[in-house]
Amino acid sequence: MARYLSIAAALATSAIAITPELFLGAPRRGVLTPNPTGEIAYFSVSQYSFEEQESTSSIKIIDLKTGDIRDSGLNASEINEIVWLPGTETGILYINETNEDVPGGVTLWIGDALKPNESTLVASLDAPYNGLKVANTSSGDLHFLVNALAYPNGTAYNEETAEIPRHQGRLYSDIYVRHWDTWLTKQRYAVFAGALLANSSYSLSHGGLRNLNQGVNFTVTRPETPVQPFGGNGDYDISPDGSTYVFLSKAPQLNKANYTAGYLYIGPFDGSVAPVAINGPNSTAAAAGHLGNSGVPTFSPDSSKLAYIQQDEDYYESDRWKLYVTPVVHGYGGTVSTGDFKPLAPNFDRWIEFIAWDPSSESVFVSAEDFARTRIFHIPLDSDEGYIPKNLTSGTTVSAFSVLPDSSLLVSATGVHTSRDYYITKGDGQVDLLFSATKVDKELAGLGPHTFEEFFFTGAQGNQIHSILVKPTNFVENKTYPLAYIIHGGPQGSNGNVWSTRWNFQVWADQGYVVVAPNPTGSTGFGQKLIDDIQGNWGSYPYEDIVLGWEYVQETYPYIDTDNGIEAGASFGGYMTNWIQGHELGRKFKALVTHDGIYDTQAAYVTEELWFMRHDYNGTILDPDSTYAKWNPLDHIANWSTPHFVIHNTLDYRLPESDGLALFNILQTKGVPSRFLNFPDENHWVLKPENSLFWHTEIFNWINHYSGVGGALDDEAIGE
Ligand SMILES: *[C@@H]1O[C@H](CO)[C@@H](O)[C@H](O)[C@H]1NC(C)=O
Ligand SMILES: *[C@@H]1O[C@H](CO)[C@@H](O)[C@H](O)[C@H]1NC(C)=O
Ligand SMILES: *[C@@H]1O[C@H](CO)[C@@H](O)[C@H](O)[C@H]1NC(C)=O
Ligand SMILES: *[C@@H]1O[C@H](CO)[C@@H](O)[C@H](O)[C@H]1NC(C)=O
Ligand SMILES: *[C@@H]1O[C@H](CO)[C@@H](O)[C@H](O)[C@H]1NC(C)=O
Ligand SMILES: *[C@@H]1O[C@H](CO)[C@@H](O)[C@H](O)[C@H]1NC(C)=O
Ligand SMILES: *[C@@H]1O[C@H](CO)[C@@H](O)[C@H](O)[C@H]1NC(C)=O
Ligand SMILES: *[C@@H]1O[C@H](CO)[C@@H](O)[C@H](O)[C@H]1NC(C)=O
Ligand SMILES: *[C@@H]1O[C@H](CO)[C@@H](O)[C@H](O)[C@H]1NC(C)=O
Ligand SMILES: *[C@@H]1O[C@H](CO)[C@@H](O)[C@H](O)[C@H]1NC(C)=O
Ligand SMILES: *[C@@H]1O[C@H](CO)[C@@H](O)[C@H](O)[C@H]1NC(C)=O
Ligand SMILES: *[C@@H]1O[C@H](CO)[C@@H](O)[C@H](O)[C@H]1NC(C)=O
């Protein structure tokens, strides 16, 4: 009970606008998917109720002329995914997550977004397929792609009907035995192709579903699509005419722990020939030095071209993502290949993230992180070395966008002050705002852009380093607020103008802080040099930037109380917090918070992402020039003395919980005030609402006590 009382007390004294409970209980809206004629779009909404202790979800339709929103009438507890049917105005194909004939299977239904009760069951699928993409062919048949986990023999895996193994042993003969939060089994994800035949009421064609990955030979790494754990249906595509598919899979001749390389495989939908890698070994792309990972393969509306992104280096996950386009060539005997790839705007020093074609098939729109937000850019197919794209959007972060039939952009965005905005723009700076969550959700009442600022300061190597600054919603002029200095993860990541459901700066600020979140060396969105400069330099440049940023804040902002500040970070930010604890800057803070951070870089080889270690620490652990021993927080424990809150979750396999435990044990041995928080059911991130509420409550309890904005420490902790 005590912790709720202390929140109530804090509420009364610091005029909190948004609390952890309000923020976690607010609606979460998905991105918009417009219908083929660009008149309406659907989106999903889910919301957790702390009172009911459950989530509810629904599927909404927004009118793109008026912004009016209504319920679709489609049952969100039954429908997993919806796609619009090309060639229709409001026709849909969707996956129903129940299958009355096959437990653990799903069903496909054809319906109409405007007639939610008139859908027709067209296919029964015997496993939990998802990631639906569909093309409407000239014959009227619908060609679709889905994905599912599959046995080595290619058959889709259905957990509910699978044989239960007699033992729990896991035996491996190769590195990469687990990743993120999952131990590897013999099953791998695969893309499956199926056809719904127009001449027989859209029933599934006789052959059923065909596993496309099964056609790829491998020597080391078995083909897998989508690439786990974050891949989805953006890892594959079907041409709008239904004739061709493309999918991404990791390099079959390289070890997955050591390399990031991945290739795009293209093939004819009819399965007459096996898929071939367009940019694999011995391709013209490889000869031109494109050896790294690939992504977002996207066919042009006229099906004649393929746009995609690729990195040059084969074990650097943060190498620049460059944009390419290639013609799709249909050859003799049903073969499909690609012609010469063309680099588009090759000197654009940003990472291309997402691609959407203009209806003309003559240009693409892309999104890329740019100065602490994701923005949209336009790139014509004839752009060359001299073409530097201009941003078509501005302040907030683009989560997703679509190109409407008139080439205007339908954007789903977020910002520090809004969990979801929907708007249309022609890219001329004019924005037609359809919806803003902050104007509607009672949980977000009072939030606004007035709390967000950004600034540059001179960092290590004389670089201009960017930082964001977020004030409390009810900021009072001439009052001072302790600094909450927050370091991002990655290290190749950023702090930006984005709504986060995990590290939400407004929620931190509204405890009574000014949040300053810098983008030091290693940060993305400011050009590749700043990213590359962190290699082998984890404890030098970024730390120097962070120190110089702190000094700048102390000199520049009279309303920021740096004497009572706190510092917090997750992942690389957690490593950096542990580094700060051992160095001079650690003495400037009243409390520190490490979430899932490394304390011993020599032990970091426990991770499965050995490509990452090899790049960022300049070699393998056997390499005499590597930097595993160079920037190790463990070497500076003599200095550890600032109160430190440590979180480490059990399902984080890349940075295992032993790091957090050892960090806590050392702090306790030294008598440094400290607490350890563990979630046995969370991975690198705390995602479950009740867990997240506890995470926020206990961290805020700790920092508020030491910074002076709160009261006594609560008695929630388990201690002897
Ligand atoms: C939605 O589907 C769920 C699960 O099948 C069912 O329990 C519920 O009654 C349905 N709701 C409506 C409004 O039909
Ligand atoms: C496919 O597109 C055609 C128009 O090209 C349309 O008449 C037909 O209804 C579409 N098929 C389905 C199943 O929506
Ligand atoms: C989903 O499938 C179930 C049968 O398994 C059916 O009762 C229900 O109406 C379907 N829901 C939708 C939205 O198609
Ligand atoms: C669909 O059916 C449900 C349950 O029978 C009903 O409540 C709803 O009004 C119907 N929706 C439409 C748009 O007809
Ligand atoms: C593939 O393997 C699974 C698991 O052993 C088995 O259930 C399934 O029948 C096999 N499929 C084929 C086509 O042999
Ligand atoms: C239906 O269409 C399929 C493929 O488009 C074709 O193979 C089949 O012969 C057709 N069946 C009939 C009865 O026309
Ligand atoms: C894969 O290997 C098999 C057996 O060696 C061979 O017959 C087949 O042609 C190969 N497929 C490809 C796409 O190279
Ligand atoms: C991984 O890469 C390292 C460095 O190239 C190499 O020494 C090691 O043999 C590789 N391991 C495997 C299993 O491929
Ligand atoms: C690439 O070419 C080399 C030399 O011609 C050959 O040995 C190798 O098998 C080829 N690799 C692939 C994946 O085709
Ligand atoms: C592009 O970004 C700049 C800020 O860097 C902004 O002032 C401008 O409005 C943006 N352009 C558009 C079209 O949004
Ligand atoms: C803040 O302080 C300045 C300088 O002392 C004063 O001019 C101003 O009126 C004060 N503002 C408020 C809101 O008290
Ligand atoms: C790490 O390796 C890169 C590339 O080989 C090199 O440029 C850099 O100087 C090295 N850094 C350190 C600290 O050894």
Q: In the prediction, which pLDDT does 442 show?
A: 96
Distance 605 CA to ligand 8 centre (A): 13
pLDDT at 4 over 50: no
Residues found in the chain: 720
27 inside domain:
no
Give how many domains the chain has, as a whole number: 1
427 inside domain:
no
Please say whether the beta carbons of 539 and 631 come within 8 A: yes
484 inside domain:
yes
Of 122-126, 156-160, 583-587, 714-718, the one with minimum mean pLDDT is 714-718
Look up 681 and say whether it is catalytic: no
Average pLDDT over residues 471-487: 96
Distance 618 CA to ligand 7 centre (A): 37
Q: Please state the separation of Cα 126 from the chain's center in Å.
A: 30
Q: In the prediction, which pLDDT does 305 show?
A: 97
Lining ligand 12 with CB less than 6 A are: 535-537, 618, 625, 627
659 inside domain:
yes
Among 537, 522, 606, 536, CA closest to 569: 522
| Residue 641 identity (one-letter amino acid) | S
Residue in the structure block whose two tokens are 């008026």? 66
Q: In the prediction, which pLDDT does 334 show?
A: 83
Specify burial of residue 171 (Cβ count, 10 A radius: 0-12, 13-18, 19+).
exposed
Q: In the prediction, which pLDDT does 720 show?
A: 67
90 inside domain:
no
Distance CA 248, CA 256 (A): 14
Among 301, 416, 310, CA closest to 363: 301
Per-residue pLDDT tens over the stretch 490-499: 999 999 999 9
Angle (nearest 5°) at CA 603 between 597 and 606: 85
In sign, the C-alpha dihedral spanning 677, 680, 682, 683 is positive
Per-residue pLDDT tens over the stretch 147-181: 999 999 999 999 999 999 999 999 999 889 999 99
- Confidence band (pLDDT; 50, 70, 90) for 15? low
- Confidence band (pLDDT; 50, 70, 90) for 717? confident
CA distances to 268, 276, 305, 341 from 329, rounded to whole Å, are 11, 13, 9, 12
Helix (H, G, I), strand (E, B) or coil at 668: helix
Name the residue at shortest CA distance from atom 14 of ligand 7: 217
Residue of 3 and 330 predicted with greater confidence: 330
| Residue 316 identity (one-letter amino acid) | Y
Q: In the prediction, which pLDDT does 716 show?
A: 82
- Give a three-class secondary structure readout of 593-631: EEECCCCCHHHHHHCCCHHHHHHHCCCCCCCCCCCCCCC
Q: In the prediction, which pLDDT does 715 show?
A: 81
Cβ–ligand 5 contact at 163 (below 6 Å): no
Specify burial of residue 8 (Cβ count, 10 A radius: 0-12, 13-18, 19+).
exposed
pLDDT at 14 over 80: no
- Residues paired with residue 265 on neighbouring β-strands, in sequence order: 247, 277
Domain encompassing residue 507? 450-707
pLDDT at 502 over 90: yes
Per-residue DSSP letter, 391: B
Q: In the prediction, which pLDDT does 718 show?
A: 84
Give the atom of ligand 1 at the shortest distance from the alpha carbon of 77.
2
Residue 269 makes CB contacts below 8 A (sequence gap 6+) with: 143, 193, 238, 242, 243, 244, 245
Per-residue pLDDT tens over the stretch 218-254: 999 999 999 999 999 999 999 999 999 999 999 999 9
Per-residue pLDDT tens over the stretch 75-120: 999 999 999 999 999 999 999 999 999 999 999 999 999 999 999 9
Percent of the chain with pLDDT strictly greater than 90: 94
Q: What is the CA radius of gyration of the chain?
A: 26
pLDDT at 335 over 90: no
441 inside domain:
no
665 inside domain:
yes
Residue 321 makes CB contacts below 8 A (sequence gap 6+) with: 295, 309, 310, 311, 351, 352, 353
Buried b (16+ CB within 10 A) or exposed e, 279-318: bbeebebbeeebbbbbbbbbbbbebebbbbbbbebbbbbb
**What are the contacts of 526-530 at 24+ separation with CB within 8 A?**
526/371, 526/466, 527/349, 527/350, 528/319, 528/320, 528/349, 530/463
Distance CA 588, CA 567 (A): 9
Best of 217, 253, 336 to mutate for ligand 7, by most ligand atoms within 8 A of CB? 217
pLDDT at 10 over 80: no
Helix (H, G, I), strand (E, B) or coil at 199: helix
| Residue 190 identity (one-letter amino acid) | A
Distance CA 116, CA 619 (A): 57
Strand 203-204 relative to strand 210-211, pairing: unpaired
Per-residue pLDDT tens over the stretch 347-404: 999 999 999 999 999 999 999 999 999 999 999 999 999 999 999 999 999 999 999 9
Helix (H, G, I), strand (E, B) or coil at 699: helix
Best of 367, 394, 396, 426 to mutate for ligand 10, by most ligand atoms within 8 A of CB? 394
Per-residue pLDDT tens over the stretch 520-546: 999 999 999 999 999 999 999 999 999
Distance 336 CA to ligand 8 centre (A): 34
Among 452, 450, 455, 449, CA closest to 433: 449
- Give a three-class secondary structure readout of 90-117: CEEEEEECCCCCCCCCEEEEEEECCEEE
CA distances to 69, 84, 174 from 89, rounded to whole Å, are 18, 8, 51
Best of 474, 478, 479, 559 to mutate for ligand 11, by most ligand atoms within 8 A of CB? 478
Sheet architecture: strand order including 236-238? 236-238, 244-250, 262-268, 276-277
Instruction: Report the chain's mean pLDDT, rounded to a whole number.
Output: 95
| Residue 683 identity (one-letter amino acid) | N
Q: In the prediction, which pLDDT does 719 show?
A: 77
398, two tokens: 């683009």
Distance 215 CA to ligand 7 centre (A): 8
569, two tokens: 């970070």
| Residue 83 identity (one-letter amino acid) | V
Options 684, 692, 705, 714, the catalytic residue: 684
Give, rounded to a whole angstrom, the gap between the first and last alpha carbons of the chain: 20
At 667, which CATH number?
A: 3.40.50.1820
309 inside domain:
no
Q: In the prediction, which pLDDT does 489 show?
A: 98
59, two tokens: 């599927």
Identify the helix (H) or strand (E) that includes residue 693.
helix 689-707
Q: Tell me phi and psi for residue 575, to 5 degrees.
A: -55, -50
Q: What is the dihedral of CA 580, 584, 585, 590, to 10 degrees?
A: 90
Smallest-distance ligand from the CA of 255: 8
Distance CA 533, CA 12 (A): 46
Look up 206 and say whether it is catalytic: no
Of 14-28, 290-304, 342-356, 696-710, the one with minimum mean pLDDT is 14-28
Percent of the chain with pLDDT strictly greater than 70: 98
Identify the helix (H) or strand (E) that includes residue 402.
strand 397-403
Cβ–ligand 1 contact at 75 (below 6 Å): yes
pLDDT at 11 over 90: no
Look up 378 and say whether it is catalytic: no
Distance CA 566, CA 643 (A): 10
Average pLDDT over residues 110-132: 97
Distance 353 CA to ligand 10 centre (A): 19
